[in-house]
Structure 1
Amino acid sequence: MKLTRRQSIGTALLGGGALTLPGTAEAARKPAPDWKRGFDNQRIADLGNGSFLNPLISGDRADPAILKDGADYYMTFSSFDSYPGLTIWHSRDLVNWQPRKAALNKNIGSVWAVSLEKHDGRYFLYIPVKAKPNSIFVIWADHIDGPWSDPIDLGLHSHIDPCHAVGEDGSRWLFLSGGDRIRLSADGLSTVGKVEHVYDPWRYPDDWDVEGFSPEGPKIHRHGEWFYMITAVGGTAGPPTGHMVIAARSRSIHGPWEQYPRNPLVRTTSVDEKWWSRGHASLVEAPDGSWWSVYHGFENGFWTLGRQTLLDPIEWTKDGWFRMKGGDLSQPIRKPKGGTALPHGQPLSDDFSKPLELGRKWNFFKPAPDESRRQRVEDGALVLKASGIAPSDSSPLLLIAGDQAYQFECDIEIAPGGVAGLLLFYDEKLYAGLGFDEKRFVTHQYGIERGRPANPHGRRMKMRVTNNRHIVSFHTSGDGGQSWKRFDRGMEVSGYHHNVRGGFLMLRPGLYSAGEGEAKFRDFKFRAL
């Protein structure tokens, strides 16, 4: 029998066993229930019945770095070109999470997979950045909410994805991409000696559909008599079957490292699965003593949402290894017991009655050092000074929305010579949206400015954007929202994602102010559909 390309993916081996083919009885799955809903009708993982449904945290929460600190859990994610960045999230039960404060305020470049650690009572973030040149920085704080130190450049220009580890002899190390490591000073704020190669990662079969070898994202965990090194290979994006999780172990931080005999531990094996490109895993112990893995993946059909954080139960096996138990993560999973459930997430709506929550909720894209001075809140309005001439050079203010469909609206008032509007923004070269000056609308599509029909509302109007599973529509109102008129331009944005544009970002709702003067934004309302 000749298999289709989709079926051939299923003939690979995972964990020593043959995979079922899509379409067979063994592969049939019952439909997953819908998510429970939280603030602004946003989906949340906790189903309220002792189970949860992935994603753990929706939207672009890539490269999760998790820290267990007594009864508290802290996690942060790659924040790329958004600042303030590296928002710290907090949980007490591993399932429900709240954002706290951003740790990084100075723009040092595009922030990739970090390491969040606590050592001798002090918190550390080791931060790889894509800049000119690339490097790895460290910041530290004596409290998880800061204040965090200024970034210290460690001068590591050829590696990404650092992981802090402490050896059995008390030595401190950064493990790096490619199976390398470098020693850290006793205070963790500088390096000692040179980078050394200590591990050759396991390689997958040549006929697997992957993006590239790309060994990265090492995570070191000490459990019992062993140090475990968990690594991502196969490339972060590209084919949905590329990214995967492998493991090795050693009795010493200095090696030698023994490969897990049933690598990989996790891999998407069919494009029919709910979660694609699963990888970049860490281990963590729950309040009840059970063990779990957090990693990221793309939601089937929604590359535009970026890599979302997933939670997978694990079990330790008699031979001293571990395995993932969650399968393809399309179905509910029993929650760990114990801990206290915090209200999950945060409202994305904003009445601008108090200072902007920069970092916690709103972020500037590629901001200048003084970008935050552009904004202030007064009299129930966000006042945003104009910058640039279009979204591409205006450093828009953005949110992370993790639902497949949502709607947001805002009352917008511009000054003479100003232009402002609402956006679905990937980066400065790929965005969609609608703006206006006092005489004309401006349509943003494919990252360029297109049609400019007449604006009948003048310098103030309400504007609404609906993103219904990549089908985008716009509505405007000149009477404060009593009546709405559909704008005569619809869009389809499923291609606004990394595999088209690069950058590892997501399509984010936001607002911008360009041209001259200041724009006032009032009563920003968000609702997932």
Structure 2
Amino acid sequence: MTEFTNPVLAGDRPDPAIIRVGDEYWMTYSSFESAPGLLLYRSTDLVNWTFETAALPEPLGSTFAVDIAEHDGRFLIYIPFIPTPWSSLADASIFVIHAPSMAGPWSEPIDLGIRGAIDPGHVVGEDGRRWLFVNGIRRIGLADDGLSTVGELEHVYDGWRYPDDWVTEAYALEGPKLLRRGDWCYLVSAVGGTAGPPTGHMVIVARSRSVHGPWENSPHNPVARTQHADERWWSRGHATILQGPADAWWMVSHGYEHGYRTLGRQILLEPIAWTDDGWPVAGALDIGAPQEAPAGAAPQLAAPGFDDDFATLQLGERWAFHAPGPGEAERLRSDDGLVLAAKGGGPADTSPLCLVTGDHSYELEVEVSLEPGSGSGSSSLEGGLLLFFSNRLFCGMGIDGERMLSYSGGARTHWREPVEPTRSLRLRIRNEEHIVTGWYRLPGQDWVRHGVRYETSGYHANTMGDLQSLRPALYAAGDGAVRFREFTYRVLGG
């Protein structure tokens, strides 16, 4: 018997959307303020996932929970964009992109004109008409091609109310995903809030004979919920129920790992059973324990460490910009390493280049070389290596040619590390279960440990209100460019 252990896709990959295409499964998730966005992964067994492409090279705003649909041989992704300081949007706005296959090529985003709504869920009614459900739960009609709307948003479902003494973040009825099984149309939603207390987020189900309702709540609600804070997976929700290999049923959702909220919401898989009267129920007592894998699944592979000489810029698969402006990728070129054009005045406004990690302990190394610009006056240049949560919360090290710069808690610290002025320095950061230690090395010299260590267990969404994760990052700020060479990522421990 082949077993797997959650998560099936580690690191910050919230709000999974998944579709079955023949004998394959394709999945994406909320990419928020990252570019490229909407990274697409493919699997044949729901356990092992391979990156294929990015569907959204340049997001129009923060990219929230999407839905993937197929209709008449064409694939569509319905996308809510949320206004950010770098976008031109004034309100939450739902767009759509389309492609002849999940591998693309994907179209430019098309504005559906839906404002003030998130979390789209696509369904085809029993009469062949297409609908888009959104948070609330509301719905709006779609044209036959799915590329425009018909009518206005209308409220269609009040949700299921959990007991008042349950400890949750907020009611927050959201994340509708719809499926058909037999004569029933099932509406899978989330309530309880996506962060906050670990017992908040949960999965609920309702059903109807018609996409027009009325909707009957399951007597088994909630289908999934963290009941106790001593469980491994917290805030479980935003689920899709689908048929897997050998026609067994599974549920894909997200959750925070107990003790590692810093890693963001990770993708979880669990079996679904059906009652004799046609209701889905969770099939695993403990999704934190090893589970029997779907039929025919390959052994689960751990994500390895890697070396990156930047000969090929692996945007999407490995690296992504945080809070990008238009044309952000033009800041990059591969030339004896990675040359990153500077932007902003420091780590907070530089749109750093980040990578998602799902490891509890890891070590990073990179050589940092400053290449000042031709600007005059008081312009300066700095670059370095960070652990970056958001523009308000990060830690790490950099150089500006005169001194080493130390950051903690999202701010420059008073600490002055005794390193001689240099334009080139090799940096190392080790994160061992939230304890962060730094080292640096001048060319031809030994490693020197930074004089200050940091504790980063509080670098998470409940601290800052940002739905992000703590990510390794490279940054270049000021005037000029920074060259990064020989980046390494090593997983520590078992």
TM interval, shorter chain, is over 0.9
TM-score (norm 2): 0.94
CA-CA distance at 1:327 after TM superposition:
2.2
Matched, 1:448 2:411: yes
Query: 1:259 and 1:346 mapped to 2: Cα distance?
Result: 43
Query: 1:341 and 1:473 mapped to 2: Cα distance?
Result: 34
Matches within 5 A, 1:131-210: 131=83, 132-210=90-168
Matched, 1:60 2:23: no
Matches within 5 A, 1:212-251: 212-251=170-209
CA-CA distance at 1:113 after TM superposition:
0.6
Equivalent residue, structure 1, for 2:86: none
Matched, 1:410 2:366: yes
Equivalent residue, structure 2, for 1:107: 59
Query: 2:478 and 2:139 mapped to 1: Cα distance?
Result: 48
CA-CA distance at 1:106 after TM superposition:
2.1
Deviation track 1:468-506 (CA, whole Å, cap 9, x = no partner) reads 1111010111136x7311011111111111111112111
Pair 1:189–1:348, CA change in 2 (3 A): farther
Matched, 1:492 2:478: no
Pair 1:300–1:484, CA change in 2 (3 A): same
Q: Is the 8 A contact 1:421 1:435 kept in 2?
A: yes
SS, match of residue 11 in structure 2:
coil
Query: 1:161 and 1:346 mapped to 2: Cα distance?
Result: 33
Pair 1:345–1:73, CA change in 2 (3 A): farther
Pair 1:116–1:342, CA change in 2 (3 A): farther
Matched, 1:439 2:402: yes
**Pairwise CA RMSD of aligned residues?**
1.5
CA-CA distance at 1:347 after TM superposition:
5.5
Matched, 1:358 2:315: yes
Residue number among 459, 463, 467 corresponding to 2:431 in the alignment: 467
Query: 1:255 and 1:516 mapped to 2: Cα distance?
Result: 59
Q: Is the 8 A contact 1:249 1:260 kept in 2?
A: yes
Query: 1:234 and 1:338 mapped to 2: Cα distance?
Result: 35
Q: Is the 8 A contact 2:47 2:297 kept in 1?
A: no
Query: 2:480 and 2:137 mapped to 1: Cα distance?
Result: 52
CA-CA distance at 1:147 after TM superposition:
1.9
CA-CA distance at 1:115 after TM superposition:
0.2
Equivalent residue, structure 2, for 1:511: 474
Name which of structure 1's ranges 153-162 and 50-59 shifts more when overlaid on structure 2: 153-162
Matched, 1:400 2:400: no
**Letter paired with 1:203:** R
Query: 1:348 and 1:266 mapped to 2: Cα distance?
Result: 35
SS, match of residue 178 in structure 1:
coil
Pair 1:221–1:348, CA change in 2 (3 A): farther
Matches within 5 A, 1:26-37: none
CA-CA distance at 1:242 after TM superposition:
0.6
Matches within 5 A, 1:261-410: 261-338=219-296, 348-354=306-312, 356-379=313-336, 381-410=337-366
SS, match of residue 136 in structure 2:
helix
Pair 1:85–1:167, CA change in 2 (3 A): same
SS, match of residue 499 in structure 1:
helix
CA-CA distance at 1:345 after TM superposition:
5.4
CA-CA distance at 1:341 after TM superposition:
7.1
Q: Is the 8 A contact 1:287 1:338 kept in 2?
A: yes
Q: Is the 8 A contact 2:95 2:112 kept in 1?
A: yes
Matched, 1:121 2:73: yes
Q: Is the 8 A contact 2:2 2:299 kept in 1?
A: no
Q: Is the 8 A contact 1:107 1:368 kept in 2?
A: no
**Letter paired with 2:150:** V
Query: 1:159 and 1:347 mapped to 2: Cα distance?
Result: 39
CA-CA distance at 1:418 after TM superposition:
2.4
Query: 1:160 and 1:490 mapped to 2: Cα distance?
Result: 40
Query: 2:296 and 2:4 mapped to 1: Cα distance?
Result: 14
TM-score (norm 1): 0.88
CA-CA distance at 1:185 after TM superposition:
0.5
Deviation track 1:496-529 (CA, whole Å, cap 9, x = no partner) reads 1111111211111110011221111111100111
Query: 1:93 and 1:74 mapped to 2: Cα distance?
Result: 11
SS, match of residue 415 in structure 1:
strand
CA-CA distance at 1:338 after TM superposition:
2.5
CA-CA distance at 1:455 after TM superposition:
2.8
Q: Is the 8 A contact 1:103 1:146 kept in 2?
A: yes
SS, match of residue 192 in structure 1:
strand
Pair 1:97–1:341, CA change in 2 (3 A): farther
Q: Which ranges in structure 1 are unaligned for 5 or more consecutive residues?
A: 1-48
Name which of structure 1's ranges 312-321 and 141-150 shifts more when overlaid on structure 2: 141-150
Q: Which ranges in structure 2 are unaligned for 5 or more consecutive residues?
A: 84-89, 373-379
**Letter paired with 2:319:** W
Matches within 5 A, 1:20-99: 50-99=2-51
**Letter paired with 1:272:** D
**Letter paired with 2:138:** D
Deviation track 1:67-123 (CA, whole Å, cap 9, x = no partner) reads 100011100010000011000001011100011111112231111110011111111
Query: 2:64 and 2:402 mapped to 1: Cα distance?
Result: 42
Pair 1:346–1:114, CA change in 2 (3 A): farther
Aligned residues: percent identity? 50
Query: 1:455 and 1:250 mapped to 2: Cα distance?
Result: 68
Query: 2:297 and 2:71 mapped to 1: Cα distance?
Result: 23
Matched, 1:430 2:430: no
Q: Is the 8 A contact 1:115 1:163 kept in 2?
A: yes
**Letter paired with 1:204:** Y
User: Where do 4+ consecutive residues of structure 1 move more than 4 Å?
Assistant: 339-348
CA-CA distance at 1:216 after TM superposition:
0.2
**Letter paired with 1:180:** R
**Letter paired with 2:448:** K
Query: 1:110 and 1:454 mapped to 2: Cα distance?
Result: 40
Query: 1:227 and 1:282 mapped to 2: Cα distance?
Result: 14
Query: 2:430 and 2:243 mapped to 1: Cα distance?
Result: 40
